[in-house]
Amino acid sequence: MKRLLFFLANYRFRLAVIFLTIAISTFLYFGVATYQGLSVELPQLALGELRTAMLSVKGRIESRMEDGTELQTAANDVFSQALDRRFHARAYDRRGNVVASTSSLPGNPATFSAAMYGQEVESTLVVPPGNVRYLLTATPLRVRGEIVGAVELALSLQDVDRTLAVIYPRLVLGVILSVVAIFAAAMYVGGNLTRIIGELEVAARAIAQGHFDQRIVATSTDELGQLARTINYMASELQRLSAVRAEFLSKVSHELRTPLTIIKGFTVSMLREAASPTRRRQLEVVDSQVDHLTGLVEDLLDLSRLDAGTLRLRRELMDLVRISREAVDVTKPKAQMRDITINFRAGAPSIEALGDPHRVKQIIDNLLDNALKHTEPGGRVTVEVTARNSEAVIKVADTGLGIPRESLPYVFDRFYQVYSQRKAGAGLGLAVVKELTEAHGGRVEVESEFGVGSTFTVVLPIPASLK
């Protein structure tokens, strides 16, 4: 049942089933109608022929007898001179004796009797051993109004039956061949359609996933070709809009950077000179807000550089254990202030990879920052660096709030926030983490249970030469 439903859900098979149903019913109808028509019409033609022959034979015998010729002589003459050899003829006298015959067929007393009562008889005779069918007709002979005997004519239906026997298998074969051909055609057309639709679907999915440079090769001018061109147009529009957005973000972040640096500089110097505690507190708020904004602008700039491919990553030997330990050490005071325990574990004294140490530190800082932000006092954050096969694995785990299952697929998307109202941020941190990791040829994964904690895992490749 499930398999049947699968086939019916498949466009190709649905098309084939529809075609087949139409083909089978049409051909069956025409096949049966043709066969039946022929099997009725052909005997009818033979019957017509038989009737005509009978009229002629009867007329000739009667006219000869009216001229005084004996029945036997008249019948024999007419049978031999005026009758096609395909007909079987027999003449009876008034008592039922056969007086002339060209027939080897068995006699038929009932036919004769009926004819002697003045009736025209028509019937079908089946003669063994070959069960050959004959059309039989008998009619009374009248001379001056008096019945003087009867004549019986029979015509074999062997030719008709032979023709039908030849036509029947041809009709069946024709129906089977047409059905097979139509099934094959439906599968071919359906297969072509599903292939093209499949290609369109793959391309549309890729575009939906942000691969705006995806294009479909559309050569046909039909509706599917038109659809492909429309999808291509949509992709190029998305590509253009995405470029406009990237340029806008890049320009805005560049423009914001300089004033922020100036504000930061002045705030720091004013903080140094602040006389009253109130003024100091106010300036500290300004300072932390400027830091927050600067972080945001830096994230935006990084993302726009990553988009444009202008972010230059150094490719140098770096020790991931050292980088991670330093990041943890820097974070420790902040964690202590919030009563969060922070642990560091390394699988080896040093784990080396190739990359930009500054950017890898940025990745770990972002993850640590998030872990601290989402962990309640009394909680624990653990950073672990290990190596397996040709990969280095950095895990940042917390016993914090966790992320709801439905949000997990989106946490690495730009501007996506799970707790937008609760924590300040712009939803860019994890997007930067993901893209920086990928720019290093690595990948980042998240596991999280709501209310239990989250673990972010960054996997970076270790080149074979370093193993």
Cβ-contact 167, 30 below 8 angstroms: no
Nearer to ligand ADP, 393 or 403 (CB): 403
**H/E element, 28:** helix 11-66
From the list 14-22, 107-115, 326-334, 428-436, the region that binds ligand ADP by CB under 6 A is 428-436
Work out which of 29, 188, 266, 419 binds ligand ADP, going by CB under 6 A: 419
Nearer to ligand ADP, 190 or 400 (CB): 400
- Tell me if 417 contacts ligand ADP by CB under 6 A: yes
250 binds ligand ADP (CB under 6 A): no
Least distance to ligand ADP, CB of residue 429, Å: 3
Contact with ligand ADP (CB under 6 A): which of 30, 168, 344, 416? Answer: 416
Question: What is the secondary structure of 379-446 as a DSSP string?
Answer: -EEEEEEEEETTEEEEEEEE-S----GGGGGGTTSTT--SSTTTS---S-HHHHHHHHHHHTT-EEEE
Among 99, 151, 290, 403, binds ligand ADP (CB under 6 A): 403
* Distances 222 to 193, 225, 233 between C-alpha atoms, Å: 12, 5, 17
Window contacting ligand ADP (CB under 6 A); options: 188-196, 300-308, 339-347, 401-409: 401-409
Q: Of the candidates 430, 444, 460, 462, which one interacts with ligand ADP according to CB under 6 A?
A: 430
- What count of other Cβ atoms lies within 10 Å of the Cβ of residue 457? 16
Which of 83, 164, 246, 426 binds ligand ADP (CB under 6 A)? It is 426
Q: How far is the CB of 444 from ligand ADP (least distance, A)?
A: 11
Per-residue contact track with ligand ADP, 200 to 239, x per CB under 6 A? ----------------------------------------
d(CA 90, CA 76): 9
Q: What kind and span of H or E run contains 281?
A: helix 277-308
* Torsion sign across C-alpha atoms 365, 370, 375, 377: positive
> Closest CB to ligand ADP among 216 and 363?
363
Q: Which stretch binds ligand ADP (CB under 6 A): 89-97, 165-173, 255-263, 397-405?
A: 397-405
Q: Nearest approach, Cβ of 374 to ligand ADP (angstroms)? A: 3
- Within 10 Å of residue 342's Cβ, how many Cβ atoms? 22
Q: With binding defined as CB under 6 A, does residue 411 bind ligand ADP?
A: yes
Return the number of the residue (154 or 428) whose C-beta is nearest ligand ADP: 428
DSSP code string of 30-47: HHHHHHHHHHHHHHHHHH
Instruction: Identify whether the C-beta of residue 411 lies closer than 8 Å to the C-beta of residue 431.
Output: no
Contacts 24+ apart (CB under 8 A), 202-208: 203/228, 203/231, 203/235, 204/231, 207/231, 207/234, 207/235, 207/238
Nearer to ligand ADP, 302 or 398 (CB): 398
Closest-CB residue for ligand ADP? 425
450 lies in the site for ligand ADP, by CB under 6 A: no
Task: Draw the binding track, 348-387, toward ligand ADP (x: CB under 6 A; -: no contact).
Answer: ----------------------xx--x-------------
Q: How many residues bind ligand ADP (CB under 6 A)?
A: 21
* Unique residue bearing structure tokens 């050490």: 329
Of the ranges 41-49, 134-142, 203-211, 417-425, which one interacts with ligand ADP (CB under 6 A)? Answer: 417-425
Q: Is 190 in the site for ligand ADP (CB under 6 A)?
A: no
Q: DSSP string spanning 130-188?
A: TTEEEEEEEEEEEETTEEEEEEEEEEE-HHHHHHHHHHHHHHHHHHHHHHHHHHHHHHH
Matching residue, tokens 């139509």: 182
Q: How many CA atoms lie within 13 A of 433 on its CB side?
A: 24
Which residues contact ligand ADP (rule: CB under 6 A)?
A: 370-371, 374, 398, 400-403, 411, 416-419, 425-431, 454
